[in-house]
Amino acid sequence: MNQTLTPQRNWALFLDIDGTLIDIAPRPQDVVVPPDLPGLLQAVSDRLGGALALVSGRALEVIDQLMAPLRLPAAAEHGAILRLPDGTLQTCVPRSVPLTWREHLRAETKDWTGVLVGEKHASVAVHYRLAPEREAEVRALVTRIVAEDPAFEVLPARMAFEIRPRGADKGTAIRRLLETAPFRGRVPVFVGDDVTDEDGFAAAREAGGLGLHVGRDFGNDTANVRRWLKNVATESIPGT
Element (H, E) at 64: helix 60-67
Please list the residues that pair with 163 across neighbouring strands: 124, 154
SS3 of the chain: helix, strand, coil, percent, to 5: 40, 20, 40
| Active-site residue, 64 included | no
How far is C-alpha 77 from the geometric centre of its chain's CA atoms? 7
Q: What are the residues whose beta carbons fall under 8 Å from the beta carbon of 50, sequence distance 6 or more?
A: 73, 85, 182
Instruction: From the candidates 16, 18, 64, 194, give the one annotated as an active-site residue.
Output: 16
Is the backbone peptide bond immediately before 38 cis, with ω within 30 degrees of 0? no
Please list the residues that pair with 54 across neighbouring strands: 15, 74
Burial zone of 213 (CB within 10 Å; 0-12 exposed, 13-18 middle, 19+ buried): middle
From CA 127, how far away is CA 124, in angstroms rounded? 10
Could you tell me the strand order of the sheet in which 81-83 lies? Answer: 89-91, 81-83, 74-76, 52-55, 11-15, 187-192, 210-213
For the annotated catalytic residues, the residue numbers are 16
